[in-house]
Amino acid sequence: MQPAAVILTLVVVGTAATTWHTLRIGSFPGRTDYLMLMASGCWWAICAILDVSSDAPALKLFYSELAWYGIITTPISWMLFMSAYVRGADLPSASLYTGLSVAAGLAMLAIATTNDLHHLVYVAVTPDPTPAYPHQLHYEHGSVFFAAMIAIYFFMALTAIRTLWAAIHAPPVHRAQFAGLLLSAMVPWAANAAYNFAGVRILGFDPTPLAYVVVPVIYSFLVSRNQFLSLAPVALGAVFSAHPDGILVVSGNGLVAEANAAMRAIFDGKPLVGKPFSSLGTSFGPADGASLFDGNNQVRRWRRDGRIYEVRTVAVDAARQSESVAYVLRDITDYLRAQESLQISTRLMEERLEANLRLQEQLHDMAHRDSLTGLNNRRILETISDRLIDNADAVGRSLVAVSLDLDHFKRLNDTFGHKAGDDALVAMAGVLTRSLRPGEVAVRMGGEEFLVLMPHADIEEARARAEAWRAVIRSQPVATSLGAAEITFSAGISAYPETAASFEQMLQQADKAVYAAKRAGRNRVVVARQPGEAADGRMRSA
């Protein structure tokens, strides 16, 4: 086996051993991406082993193309792992980022393995033998190769800068940990840069996967000293200092052990650490209500200098039965004010909505109701016609239409004046309105014409009721300055489905029956001819 293959085998074995050791630690920030990092490094190293162990140029090229999955996913996984590790918690949408990392690796793998079709990764691959390594190849790189390298170096640089910043701001006890993590990433990528930009080879091969031998060594060192994967307290310390809520830790002996900047600002910037808690002049006391932000937790409210705080009490080191507690104070003053403003705005909005609904009802009423008589106008028929027909079909009962037309209405207006005509219309509407049953509809169709729709009625019942209306309206003459004016009407009756096959035909037949009543002398009720009756041009009169 060639020396390069031996070193790469050590990389794979060492990475696998370190990963197994790490898994025994349990959960830690960025755990999934850490495992992806180890797996990607092993993929790259295994492809490199196959490459250096092969003599055939076609096989060497194929294995170098396969390695692209690891080449892409290794730096991305390192970036994601370090981002989560430095912040002390998994990234938001961590699964999405991991999935995108895998997708990027697979996409590059697809591009690399189809290089013969487009030559975007390798423009040309030619033999480059040396006495020591007679089977090595020379790769002339394409545009996708350079684009991938630029992206990888850019993100690696950003991650390195962020890790370095975290190391500078971390306590000294943790800086070695950051230095080890940086070194484990920078050594392979320095080797990669030397290969890409200066053509440096080690043992006749790309030194990048060979340099990965430092990764398991450094990680094993960090894990063995129980420092690796214990960064969360460092990140939490930074979070504690920068947290917008006030945090005050009181030890079991009653002294203030910790106070972040937000808590010191609540107490006018005074130093608090080391002072007796009792000297602060406050006692937060027991919880007395539900949290605004988490109704499952009981908190209390505390006021100071016109501000209102939600105080949460948290036990510190409960597992060790410590009497230390942490008080977390959240300023809810602006929240309560905004809540009050929102309630006022909601009430105003509700009032406006109610006003708009009333206006819509009024507009609907104006559009569908006759202003003189208060009855529906003919527009209502567009809304109810289909429903009435469907209902009649569903229950198997008739829908009866009674059309009424006041007799000699023009003569009434000309003789007694338009007010007398209006009074006659109102009187007729009153008679109809008072006699309506549930579900029935009275309509002023226009002028002196009215329509009454009677669901679940029959023709004989409708005729009897129309005769009753005729008697009532005739007994109530309209008073005018010239004396009483008698009111009579002519009516026509039609029914669906007895005399008509549709709503429109029913109205037409009712109108024809009215005209028949007029021709017969007025002041009478006529029923439209039913199918099967002799078509002699006449209609039945009551």
Using one digit for the tens of pLDDT, what is the confidence trace for 221-239?
Answer: 666 554 455 444 445 555 6
Alpha helices in 199-316 (DSSP H): 207-211, 214-224, 232-242, 261-266
pLDDT for the residue numbered 398:
94
The pLDDT-based confidence of 318 (bands split at 50, 70, 90) is very low
**Residues 279-294: what's their mean pLDDT?**
67
Q: Is the pLDDT of residue 186 over 50?
A: yes
Task: Decide: 44 and 70 in contact? Cβ < 8 Å.
Answer: yes
Does the pLDDT value for residue 453 go beyond 90?
yes
Instruction: Please give the pLDDT value at position 490.
Output: 96
What's the pLDDT band for 313 if we cut at 50, 70, 90?
confident
Spatial distance between the Cα atoms of 542 and 540, rounded to a whole number of angstroms: 7
450, 381 contact by CB (below 8 A): no
Q: How far apart are CA 78 and CA 101, in angstroms?
A: 11
Q: Over 90: is that where the pLDDT of 388 sits?
A: yes
pLDDT value of position 534: 47
Assign 199 a pLDDT band (cuts: 50, 70, 90).
confident
**How far is residue 250's CA from residue 77's CA, in Å, rounded to a whole number?**
40
Segment 205-223 shows an average pLDDT of 71
**Residue 531: per-residue pLDDT:** 61
Q: Which class would CATH give 3-229?
A: mainly alpha
Phi and psi, residue 483, nearest 5°: 115, 180
378-527: CATH architecture: 2-Layer Sandwich (3.30)
Q: Which of 210-219, 224-233, 303-312, 495-504 has the lowest mean pLDDT?
A: 224-233
Q: What's the pLDDT at 255?
A: 83
Residue 192, pLDDT above cutoff 90: no
Question: Which pLDDT score is estimated for 236?
Answer: 53
Check whether 448 has a pLDDT greater than 90. Answer: yes
Q: What is the pLDDT of residue 362?
A: 67
Q: Once rounded to an integer, what is the mean pLDDT over residues 335-357?
A: 85
pLDDT of 267-286, one tens digit each?
888 888 788 888 888 777 66
d(Cα 99, Cα 84) in Å, to the nearest integer? 16
| pLDDT attached to residue 294 | 59
Whether 452 shows a pLDDT value over 90: the answer reads: yes
Domain boundaries, the chain: 3-229, 233-334, 378-527
Question: Looking at per-residue confidence, does 9 or 195 come out higher?
Answer: 9
Cα gap 308→340, rounded to integer Å: 14
Q: Per-residue pLDDT for 408 more than 50? A: yes
Intrachain domains 3-229 and 378-527 with the same fold: no
Contact status, residue 411 vs residue 518, Cβ threshold 8 Å? no
E-assigned strand segments in 399-529 = 399-406, 441-446, 449-455, 478-480, 483-485, 489-496, 525-527
Max avg pLDDT among 32-41, 164-173, 498-507: 498-507
User: In degrees, to the nearest 5, what angle opens at C-alpha 505 toward C-alphas 500 and 511?
Assistant: 105
Position 378: which residue type?
R
CATH number of 233-334: 3.30.450.20
Whole-angstrom distance, CA of residue 248 vs CA of residue 237: 13
Lowest mean pLDDT among 20-29, 104-113, 322-331, 366-375: 20-29
pLDDT attached to residue 291: 59
What was the pLDDT predicted at 535?
45
Q: Please determine, for residue 359, whether its predicted confidence score (pLDDT) is greater than 90.
A: no
Q: Which residue has the higher pLDDT, 507 or 187?
A: 507
pLDDT bin (cut points 50, 70, 90) of residue 436 is very high
43: number of Cβ within 10 Å: 22
Give the end-to-end CA distance of the chain in Å, rounded to a whole number: 119
- In 3D, which of 241, 240, 243, 248 has the Cα closest to residue 280? 248
pLDDT class of 500 with cuts at 50, 70, 90: very high
- Asked whether residue 23 carries a pLDDT value surpassing 80, the answer given is no
Q: What is the mean pLDDT of the chain?
A: 83
Length of the chain: 542
Mean of the pLDDT values across residues 391-399? Answer: 93
What mean pLDDT is predicted for residues 466-493? Answer: 93
Mean pLDDT for the stretch of residues 344-359? 84
